[in-house]
Amino acid sequence: MKAKIEFTLNGKNVSVELEESKKLLWVLRTHFNLTGTKYGCGEGYCGACTVLINNSATRSCATTIGEVAGKNVITIEGLAQGEKLHPVQQAFADHDALQCGYCTPGMIMNAVGLLNDQPNPSREDIILGMEDNLCRCGAHNRILDAIEAAANEMQNGK
Amino acid sequence: MDKAKNIQDYIEGHTPSNTIKRRNFIQLLGGGIYVFFHAGAALKLMAADGDQRQLPDDFNAFLRIHENGKVSCYTGKIEMGQGANTGLAMMLADELDVAYENVEMVMGDTDLCPWDMGTFGSLTTRMFGPSMLAAAAEARQVLLELAAEKLGTEVDKLEVTEGVVFNRQNKGEAVTYAQLTNGQRIERVAKKDATVKDYSKYKIMGKLKFRADSMEKVTGKAKYSGDMRLPGMLYARLLRPPSHGAKLISVNTSEAEKIDGVQIVKDGDLVAALHEDPEMAEKARGLFRAKFEKADKPVNNDNIFDYLKERAPEGNVNINEGDLSKGEELATSVFNTEFHDGYVAHSPMEPHTAMAYFDGDKMTVWAGTQTPFPAQSNIARILGMEAEKVRVKPPYLGGGFGGKSAHGQAVEAGKLAKLTGKPIMVDWTREEEFFYDNFRPAAVLKVNSGIDDAGKITFWDYHVYYAGDRGSETLYDVPHQKRTVYGRGWRAPGIHPFDTGAWRGPGNSTNTFARETQVDIMAAKAGIDPVEFRLKNLKDQRAIDVLEAVAEMADWKPGKSPSGRGFGVAIGSDAGTYVAHIAKVDVNKETGEVKVLKVWVAQEMGFCVNPQGATIQMEGCINMGLGYSLKEVIEFEGGKVKTKNFDTYEIPRFSWIPEIETKILQRNTPPQGGGEPAIVCMGAVIGNAIYDQTGARLLEMAMTPDKVLQALKNV
């Protein structure tokens, strides 16, 4: 059964008519052509598909489109303010915290969610918060450094 | 056919002609100065081995100085996260004296670039790099000659800075590369003996350079194969066998056909559900009712090593120096050890993905692959097309590690595109990725060696089964030694229950685990500090240099092992580069869990082009190497791959990550490989550190908690 589902996507009100059971990941990638959100495992283990739902980092492969009705969804494409990168994006670039880049959008979205919850995290908090986002290239040390730097930047910027 | 016309608009730069002739590239691209070059005889030999087509014999890459002074290099190499696009651009800018920002690498497109065998073996910088430098030197010479003519002076009075040629004595007498190139159409073939700059003269290379593609990758704009879109594109979900070797007997797709908008394709063993919605394609595939006849080999995780030994192919003696029996006579202690290594998956975060479109004449395939040209040949051969009619365009690659030298998904997409005439996306699920991955092979190694009372190794009798010979070099100075390799490379057709293939530093991690553990066993028995024992037995100065460097970095405190402190050491050599590692671990004796606290690594790779890129590769090797050393195990029963996702296949996570300290020993000798060397020591250095803390010796990878507990019982 198709249903009309309205939600906010990267700051804009959108409306789709789809089966409520469709996975948010595939709706983003096919219906909205927002391909920055990646498929990695399809079962919530790897974090490549992480987006923000009401500012909380969420696995879009394990979320149905029905569940986001009335909510605020932000993907990697909606994170920068115009030309200005989000501090976490900027920190990833500044720290060379990526290689193949496939896990990067999910890493960044998860980190933003983490900093929304814990604006002043310890290194241990960051490790714990990023634990279920997988990277095969081994960029982990730099990703942790980038998130620490972004947290400092965001604190000092306030 | 309006739709087809639309689609053609998406496929820019289409060349209908034979792509291997020089003239065609120039016709396609237009004016400027072209220098064609070839990246070494070794590449050509390997190419001839793998490709039946007539290959260009005088070039496999070229430079173009555009009429606006910008510089492009067209090469069949690809970027997969290793930073080749950054490092190669640095080299080119430096040799040509242009700004780094004005250099562009055009990589991997089989229509725009000349044939190349693929991107693997840490070959890009060390084999392709020097040829590219020679071509750049040739281009620079052409430009200087043109400048001398224009300025009415002689070449040796001229200098270049950032694309501006000027008279050394009168800097006002100047002309830019753009002015010199404008209206030109000059074609050269690089001379093999072109004089390149002395390493000390380079200004861009040797300095830190951050990666070129960060902005695209942090904003989600970078396009990977699965991000390609064409009007009318259909997602494909293919019928898969339950196990390798199973034969399809019958399939009933009638339930799947009832799904609205689905298209079912059946062509022999190829059975696929196509749908514009990937979830609906998946649902349709779930409704296939198929009967298979299984043909599983009698092998599983429990009997794999006996199974492999029973089927050992004949050995080839790679080296036989001195006289083993004499060496045995000289030994006062003899050590006979058998090592095992299990199957390991590549597990890139991006599964194999390709989109293909056939317009009735030409096939275009956007494929995540390390081997665009072999993919082109294979697709053409399987579909009965001419290679020139198949174009492979590699978008960004979401990790390769050797696993994307295989390109089965591109062949599947090509077949379906030809059968349907529609754009087809084949994006493997994670389960398919595990099923079709060509794993690092399980292997057996037997090492018999001995030392005398002075702690000198007197003989070394080394046997490696199934891993291949890469990294099997003895490294140490041993008077009597023999090395026998059973099975060619990392493939052993008909033996393993599934495909095996090249995994980052193929064979070397397995060989280095055996060698460096055996050396550690001997050092412990001799009661000599493991660093000192190695130095005592080394004559290879490059190995000595990295070992001494890493010992200094880690402030190594000599002592015989096991010291209870949990420090291990290992050395290795791969892709022309030398590495030495020290690791500090903490073993939980209750659970068998091993935490690697810190890893120090010293690397000597000749002249290091991009220290930033090389350092990141070293860090990546260390982190990735934790997985095969400690946790990664493919569970299987015959040809059935029981490992399906990351819940059971444990790749390194943030909580595993050690502190890392790296050092590159910069040398003014030709650049060597950097993508793989630092991974090869990881098993041995961790195993040796476990021994140093606990006295438990691990002889099989992965060193999972249950194996650690077992080894602790034997102490």
Q: What is the pLDDT of residue B7?
A: 56
Digit-coded pLDDT (tens) for B254-292: 999 999 999 999 999 999 999 999 999 999 999 999 999
User: Which of A33, A96, A136 has the CB atom closest to B348's CB atom?
Assistant: A136
Cα–Cα nearest to B622, from B657, B649, B654: B657
Token digits of residue A125: 């908090």
The answer to whether residue B222 neighbours chain A at the CB level (below 8 Å) is yes
Q: Is B402 on the interface with A (CB under 8 A)?
A: no
- Which residue, A29, A46, A77, sits at the end of a domain? A77
Query: What tokens does B232 get?
Result: 């009318």
> Do B476 and B617 have their domain in common?
yes
B606 and B543 in a common domain: yes
The domain boundary residue, chosen from B150, B181, B213: B213
Could you tell me if B224 lies within 8 Å of chain A, comparing CB atoms?
yes
Which residue on chain A is closest to B83 by alpha carbon?
A: A99
CA B293 to CA B628: how far, in whole Å? 33
Q: In a 3-state reduction of DSSP, which class is residue A148?
A: helix
Tell me: do B261 and B326 sit in the same domain: no
- Would you call B624 an interface residue with chain A, using a CB distance cutoff of 8 Å? yes
Whether residue B372 sits in one domain with residue B337: no
Q: What's the CA gap between B283 and B350, in Å, rounded?
A: 22
Residue B536 within any structural domain of the chain: yes
Q: Which of A23, A29, A89 sits opposite B218 (nearest CB)?
A: A89
CATH number of the domain bearing residue A122: 1.10.150.120
Determine, for residues B657 and A141 on separate chains, whether the beta-carbon distance falls below 8 Å.
yes
Judge if B398 and B458 occupy the same domain. Answer: no
Of A19, A102, A26, A100, nearest in space to A60 by CA: A26
Q: How are beta strands A56-59 and A50-53 bridged, if at all?
A: antiparallel
Which one of A77, A106, A132 terminates a domain?
A: A77
Looking at the fold, whether B522 and B383 belong to one and the same domain comes out as: no
- Of B223, B612, B646, which is closest to A45 when you measure between CB atoms? B646
The answer to whether the beta carbons of residues B204 and B95 sit under 8 Å apart is: no
Query: Which of B372, B405, B427 is at the close of a domain?
Result: B427
Is B198 exposed, middle or buried, given 0-12, 13-18 or 19+ CB atoms closer than 10 A?
A: exposed
B651 touches chain A (CB under 8 A): yes
Same domain? For B115 and B56 the reply is yes
Q: Answer yes or no: are the C-beta atoms of B138 and B194 closer than 8 Å.
A: yes
The closest of B692, B466, B530, B671 to B597, measured between CA atoms, is B692
Pair B273, B166 in one domain: no
Are the beta carbons of A112 and A88 closer than 8 angstroms?
Answer: yes
| B579 and B448 housed in the same domain | yes
Flag whether B622 is in a domain. Answer: yes
Looking at the complex, report in whole angstroms how far the Cα of residue A79 sits from the nearest Cα belonging to chain B: 8
Residue of A46, A79, A85 lying closest to B646 (CB–CB): A46
C-alpha gyration radius of chain B? 27
Selected residues 58-117 of chain A with any CB under 8 Å from a CB in chain B: 75-77, 79-80, 85, 89-90, 92-94, 96, 98-105, 108
**Looking at the domain assignment, is residue B432 inside a domain?**
no
Question: Domain for residue B225, yes or no?
Answer: no
A42 touches chain B (CB under 8 A): yes
Domain with B238, as residue range(s), is: 230-300
Structure tokens at B652: 């390194």
B247: domain CATH number?
A: 3.90.1170.50
Buried b (16+ CB within 10 A) or exposed e, B154-178: eeeebebeebbbbbeeeeebbbbbb
Q: Which amino acid type is present at position A24?
A: L
**Is B503 strand, coil or helix?**
coil
B221 touches chain A (CB under 8 A): yes
Pair A92, A147 in one domain? yes
Which residue range is the domain that position A27 belongs to? 2-77
- Sequence-distant (≥ 6) Cβ neighbours of residue B556 within 8 angstroms: B531, B550, B567, B569, B582
- Token pair, residue B538, equals 């080394």
Average pLDDT taken over every residue of chain A:
97
pLDDT at A28 over 90: yes
Closest-approach residue (CA) in chain A for B215: A93
Query: Which residues are CB-contacts of A126 (< 8 A; sequence separation ≥ 6)?
Result: A111, A114, A144, A147, A148, A151, B654
Whether residue B260 lies within 8 A of chain A, CB to CB, comes out as no
Q: Which CATH number do you get for residue A25?
A: 3.10.20.30
**Beta strands in B192-348, from DSSP E residues, in sequence order:** 234-238, 247-252, 263-267, 270-275, 289-293, 315-321, 333-341
Chain B CB contacts of A96 below 8 Å? 210-211, 214, 612, 616
Chain B partners of A46 at a C-beta cutoff of 8 Å? Answer: 349, 430, 646
Looking at residue B636, the DSSP 8-state letter turns out to be: E
CB spacing of A127 vs B655 below 8 angstroms? yes
Name which of A29, A86, A102, A110 to mutate to probe chain B: the one with the most chain B Cβ atoms within 10 A of its Cβ.
Answer: A102
Does a structural domain hold residue A131?
yes
Which residue among B81, B427, B430 sits closest to A137, beta carbon to beta carbon? B81
The answer to whether residue A61 sits within a structural domain is yes
The total number of structural domains that make up chain B: 4
Which single residue is written with the structure tokens 């604190």? A155
Contact across the interface for A93 and B619, Cβ inside 8 Å: no
CB contact under 8 A, A92 and B622: no
Residue A82 lies in a domain: no
- Decide if B448 is inside a domain: yes
Look up the CATH number of the domain holding residue B12. Answer: 3.30.365.10
Q: Residue B361: enclosing H or E segment and its boundaries?
A: none
Min Cα separation A156/chain B (Å)? 22
Task: Please report the pLDDT score of residue B45 as a whole number.
Answer: 41
Task: Say how many domains are in chain A.
Answer: 2
Please indicate, yes or no, whether residues A149 and A91 belong to a single structural domain of this protein: yes
Domain-embedded: residue B508: yes
| Same domain? B19 vs B66 | yes
3-state secondary structure of B143: helix
* Residue B111 and residue B435 in contact, taking contact as beta carbons nearer than 8 Å: no
Q: Which spans in B237-361 are helix H?
A: 254-257, 278-286, 304-310, 324-330
Q: Do A23 and B80 touch (CB under 8 A)?
A: no
C-beta pairs of A82-89 under 8 Å, 24+ apart in sequence: A85/B218, A85/B219, A86/A112, A87/A150, A87/A153, A87/A154, A87/A157, A88/A112, A88/A115, A88/A146, A88/A147, A88/A150, A89/B218, A89/B219
- Of B429, B345, B423, the closest CA to residue B628 belongs to B345
Counting Cβ atoms within 10 Å, is residue A70 exposed (0-12), middle (13-18) or buried (19+)? exposed
DSSP secondary structure letters along A92-138: HHHTT--SS-SSHHHHHHHHHHHHHH-SS--HHHHHHHHTT---SS-
Q: Identify whether A19 is part of a domain.
A: yes
Last residue of a domain, one of B213, B238, B266: B213
Contacts of B397 in chain A (CB under 8 A): 100
Instruction: Report the complex ipTM.
Output: 0.98
Does B562 sit behind a cis peptide bond, omega within 30 degrees of 0 on the bond before it?
yes
- Residue finishing a domain among A77, A98, A118: A77
Residue A97 has pLDDT above 80, yes or no: yes
How high is the mean pLDDT in each 10-residue block of chain B (715 residues)?
A: 48 41 72 81 43 56 90 89 86 94 91 83 80 90 93 94 94 94 86 82 86 92 97 98 97 98 97 98 98 95 97 93 98 98 98 97 95 93 94 95 95 98 98 97 98 98 96 97 92 92 96 98 98 98 98 97 98 97 98 98 95 95 98 98 98 98 95 95 98 98 98 96
pLDDT digits over B138-168, tens only? 899 999 999 999 999 999 999 999 999 999 9
In chain A, the residue whose alpha carbon lies closest to the alpha carbon of B649 is: A45
Q: Does residue A33 lie in a domain region?
A: yes
Residue B411 sits in the same domain as residue B473: no
Q: Please judge whether B654 and A133 are an interchain contact, meaning their C-beta atoms are less than 8 angstroms apart.
A: yes
Query: Residue A147: its chain B contacts at CB < 8 A?
Result: none
Comparing C-alpha atoms, which of B102, B121, B99 is closest to residue B39?
Answer: B121
Using alpha carbons only, give the angle A136, A142, A145 rounded to the nearest 5 degrees. 140
pLDDT of residue B210: 80
Residue B218 lies in a domain: no
Residues A70 and A107 in one domain: no
- Kindly state whether residues B200 and B339 are assigned to the same domain: no
- B220 within a domain of the structure (yes/no): no
Q: What is the pLDDT of residue B54?
A: 46
Position B27 scores a pLDDT of: 74
B204: closest CA among B536, B559, B551, B611? B611
Give the nearest partner residue to B653 out of A29, A85, A134, using CB atoms.
A134
Half-sphere exposure of B309 (CA within 13 A, CB side): 12
